[in-house]
Amino acid sequence: MRLERVDISKQVKLLVALDKYCRTIQRRGTTYSCHAQSEHVASINLIITGRKGTAQKTLVVVYDKKEQFWNVFCEGYKYELDNLGEIASIMRSMVARVTTIVSRL
């Protein structure tokens, strides 16, 4: 087992970038929290609240150095993103899908 220190400035840079894209999905009943583990790995927790209850979804974001693209893992699917900005569309569709489930009368 090897132990390496993670560069905090690069970790914060990823956190700020993810937060910028997460703000686009912020609305009533939807909250998020971003957690950067390193400069190439992070997770996003989405919490959607509606009349029927609350749902929580987690997205795991990983940068593939070899292939030079971002991978997002969520709900049994793997998304390959050319740039990190595409994560906003994934989160918007996920929020819309879950919102209909937790808000149905």
Three-class secondary structure of residue 21 per DSSP: helix
For 27-73, the pLDDT digits (tens) are 888 999 999 998 899 999 999 888 888 999 999 999 988 888 999 99
Instruction: With a cut of 80, say whether residue 84 has pLDDT above it.
Output: yes
CA distance 99 to 60: 20
